[in-house]
Chain A
Amino acid sequence: AQKITQTQPGMFVQEKEAVTLDCTYDTSDPSYGLFWYKQPSSGEMIFLIYQGSYDQQNATEGRYSLNFQKARKSANLVISASQLGDSAMYFCAMREAPGAGSYQLTFGKGTKLSVIP
C-alpha cells in the first residue's frame, strides 16, 4: 500500500488565488513528520513546510500553510496568493518514527501546479 498519496496529478490556479494540494498518508506509527517540497523545472528540491504528528497547531510558513487533519490522515498544502513562480511540482513526504539511520523520506507521486496569469 502506498504510504503517501497525492491524488491530483495536475492543478491549475489563477494568479493571486489560493490553491490546496491534497496529500493523504498511511502509517501506524504515533510519531511521524510530514513535509512538503517544491521541485521547479530546474530539478532542485526546495523544502516548504513541516508538520509533526504531535503538533497541536497547523504549520505555517509565509504563504504556505498545512491543513493537518490527523484523524483523516491528511496533510494538505495551502498556497495563498499564488504567484507565477509557484508553478512547479509539489511533493508530499513522510518520515516515520525515528530509528537507527531512519532519516529517509517516503515521497508521494507529486502534483504539478500551474499558475495562470
Chain B
Amino acid sequence: GAVVSQHPSWVICKSGTSVKIECRSLDFQATTMFWYRQFPKQSLMLMATSNEGSKATYEQGVEKDKFLINHASLTLSTLTVTSAHPEDSSFYICSAIRAGRGTATNEKLFFGSGTQLSVL
C-alpha cells in the first residue's frame, strides 16, 4: 500500500523560532498533498492544498506568511511554521493523493503519522 512519511513526529520549540515539517510519499508520486491541523479532541481542519510546482492554496483564515508550504517535488511537501507562538501548538498531519489518479470521488487519501508541535 501507499506510504506517507511525516517527520518529525513531535517537536518542542521556543516561541519565535521556525519549525519545518516534512511530508514524503515513499512509494508513489503525489501531485497533491494536503496539510491539516487538529486541536485536541477535535476534527481535522484543512489548512492548505499543496500542488507540486505551484503555490499552495490556503483555506480561509490560515495565514500564508505564517504557514509556508513548499511542494518542490512529487514526493515531498514541507510545512514551515514561522515565528511560532504557543497558540500554534497543535497536531499537524499531511496527506497525499497519488499522481496520475483520476479525480474520482473514491480516491482515498494516504495520511502521514502526524507531528505534534509544542511551542513554549
Contact = CB atoms under 8 A, between A and B. Distances in A.
Interface of A: 31-33, 35, 37, 42-47, 50, 52-53, 91, 95-110, 112
Q: Give 6 nearest A-B pairs by CB, closest first.
A: A33-B105, A98-B103, A45-B111, A43-B114, A44-B113, A107-B43
Given A91-B44, A103-B97, A107-B44, A98 B104 contact: yes
Given A102-B103, A110-B43, 15 more contacts: A32-B105, A33-B104, A33-B105, A43-B116, A45-B44, A52-B105, A52-B106, A95-B105, A96-B105, A99-B103, A101-B49, A103-B97, A104-B49, A105-B109, A110-B41
Contacts of B110: 47
B106 A50 contact: yes
- Chain A binding site: helix, strand, loop or mixed by DSSP? loop
B87 interface: no
B81 interface: no
B28 interface: no
Contact of A42 (B32, B95, B105, B113): B113
Interface of B: 32, 34, 41-44, 46, 49, 51, 57, 91, 93, 95, 97, 102-114, 116
Contacts of A45: 44, 93, 95, 109, 111, 114
Nearest to A110: B43
Contacts of A95: 105
